[in-house]
Structure 1
């Protein structure tokens, strides 16, 4: 079987490794011109599901390199009010979590794969022998086509034209503060990730990422070896106009919050601050399986509020590689399971985003009361979380 994967992101590359392990002929087509073109500065949280997928699909040397380059990413979780007073603290899980540089993770995943760069996919001709058309005029063929080409997937647009994403009415502004330059940051904000629950219709997320091992020159170029505190402020009524400073807007909105939170935002370098207009995949029913399929953001893009998008894409990759290796009605089995857990994750992430960035004072007061009650009664906390 000849399999073509459109897109050289985390999910597509993990799938290619899994297929190679199973002895399957796989080709990866990536629109970027080289292996260092897609350089993103924020790190990604790899949970136990994502780590299990990487461990299963990567060759042993690739998994070892990933573990060597990744920092720790699972030290528990906490809820705070806007004055940084604790509402609820959750203990770390027993299973290991990782904090991975997106840049380094991509280099790990590219190792050993013959990816065709500079191949911008245009469309396909369906059939037993699928014809792939690229913007450079080239034509390739395959028996099975996998769209792993992200939130604006051209494969999905042709295969499932009724699917896609939509704005959810929530905007976030995010930045990062390098911790090796600022030792005044409160220790508890570095020890675990936190969600700040204010009385206003907004929220803030904070997560520290420790220093990573140097694995290539891009790590040094993009500060991937420095520990930092990532923060994100989100609100349903947040509208940033052209020319308006992102940092100034956040500072204006958190004037009455903790002085430490204001100082964190104020001291964050301007070049690290960006705006995100959050989108989420439209819910769709199951479709009839063919010899075309999709994975990751190409089918179930979700908000970043639960930090699981990359991990669900890795889960897709492991499941699809397994199904293909087992043979039979592989795509039907894959799509049935992927549809269920993928769109469940989309719903959970969307609900979390709306709770995080919206909700009136009464709802927020009730939520805080529930969190404090759970903290005071350990059996209740275990049952809830």
Structure 2
């Protein structure tokens, strides 16, 4: 049995990939229920190659929107700085094109939960990990409800504040990056007057980024304003912010930005944290993936994709290599360099796009223009 801690996107993809490979797996989630949380997310091309390999892409694409060329616009004038206008209407495609797509996180979660259920994957909720012990034969996990579980391998897919990582590396806390994200949704009708520049747009300016795009067939606009701040802000989905606070963070920005902010009904304020790279993700029969291993800033929109790619690679290594230690060595060899590069380049992307003078942006120099980085196919590369 392989035990996965965390029923987020990375954990669910890992469970599906393991089950499809015929390996027994169970998921243990700290939350008391599998609530639909989150806003929009960008699905990078690598993640969608994984979905195709696992037979998920048709269901994913049916709920996603093709992302176009991700146009970057001047914060005040809306002058096009990079990319091309996105004329899409939010209508899903068949998922076959090798392009970036946008999707509501809750919709992706629903697709993954459905496929996990079809494969018979057990998902246990209300299981907060409090400790673990290893020996030569396996791992014993202990939970807050005084239950235990025994497995040949334990996978920490439990996010930036990973309980698994905290046990493996005491005192290694997430670090606040000096950025806060304001996230909110606007219905199509209310957003319509502020969408004349296309289905998606990323406004960049001094120490600020405002990203907006449609989801759910064009019926909802996902908005995310990222701002540098000197105030340390907690991470999570429970801290509210007011329209006035967000408006004050984006003063004098283009009317489409301020107009969408004015239409916000419920805003979540989210501190952005990342992780110092570890010398190894694995200890014995325990390993990490996704944000638990390499949390990164969102400027490349690749955090979810990295967790999805990790899950596929780990499952593939375990299917190919019956010895757990050798399988984990193979997994890290396949993933560490890419993930650490993406972590560094996500930070670099933010530094470049939030420069004081966006007119000085050199499109060819930004990490997002690197096709080898952004267009990587983990399935074709193999493990």
- TM-score normalised over the length of structure 2: 0.81
| Aligned pairs for 1:361-380 within 5 A | 361=356, 364=357, 368-371=359-362
| Aligned pairs for 1:205-224 within 5 A | 205-212=210-217
User: 2 CA distance for matches of 1:10 and 1:153?
Assistant: 14
Structure 1 residues 291-300 or 274-283, which shifts more? 274-283
Q: Structure 1 residue 10: deviation in Å? A: 0.6
Secondary structure of residue in 2 paired with 1:268: coil
User: 1 CA distance for matches of 2:19 and 2:150?
Assistant: 18
| Number of aligned residues | 349
Secondary structure of residue in 2 paired with 1:316: helix
User: 2 CA distance for matches of 1:185 and 1:45?
Assistant: 21
Contact in 2 for aligned 1:280/1:350 (Cα 8 Å)? no
Q: Structure 1 residue 181: deviation in Å? A: 2.6
Secondary structure of residue in 2 paired with 1:107: helix
Residues 119/287 of structure 1: CA separation in 2 closer, same or farther (3 Å cut)? closer
Residues 29/277 of structure 1: CA separation in 2 closer, same or farther (3 Å cut)? same
Secondary structure of residue in 2 paired with 1:149: coil
Q: Deviations over 1:311-345 (max 9, x none)?
A: 00000001101100111511001123322111222
Contact in 2 for aligned 1:84/1:196 (Cα 8 Å)? no
Say if 2:143 is the partner of 1:148. Answer: no
Residues 283/248 of structure 1: CA separation in 2 closer, same or farther (3 Å cut)? same
The two structures, once aligned, show a CA RMSD in angstroms of: 3.2
Contact in 1 for aligned 2:65/2:215 (Cα 8 Å)? yes
Note the residue ranges of structure 2 that are not aligned, 5 or more in a row. Answer: 87-96, 234-238, 375-383
Secondary structure of residue in 2 paired with 1:340: helix
Contact in 2 for aligned 1:45/1:100 (Cα 8 Å)? yes
Quote the residue 1:308 is aligned against: 302
Say if 2:255 is the partner of 1:259. Answer: yes
Q: Structure 1 residue 309: deviation in Å? A: 0.4
Quote the residue 2:62 is aligned against: 68
Quote the residue 1:247 is aligned against: 243
Structure (1 or 2) with the larger CA radius of gyration: 1
Q: Deviations over 1:143-187 (max 9, x none)?
A: 111111111111111123364420112223333332223422242
Contact in 2 for aligned 1:53/1:318 (Cα 8 Å)? yes
User: 1 CA distance for matches of 2:20 and 2:269?
Assistant: 39
| Aligned pairs for 1:324-343 within 5 A | 324-327=318-321, 328=323, 329-343=326-340
Quote the residue 1:55 is aligned against: 52
User: 2 CA distance for matches of 1:143 and 1:310?
Assistant: 26
Q: Structure 1 residue 48: deviation in Å? A: 1.2
Note the residue ranges of structure 1 that are not aligned, 5 or more in a row. Answer: 213-224
Say if 2:144 is the partner of 1:135. Answer: yes
Say if 2:293 is the partner of 1:299. Answer: yes
Quote the residue 1:166 is aligned against: 175
Q: Deviations over 1:193-250 (max 9, x none)?
A: 32322xxx422222212334xxxxxxxxxxxx8321413141234688xx99642133
User: 2 CA distance for matches of 1:337 and 1:105?
Assistant: 25
Secondary structure of residue in 2 paired with 1:204: strand
Q: Deviations over 1:254-306 (max 9, x none)?
A: 4433333322212222x1x1212211111332366521101011111112222
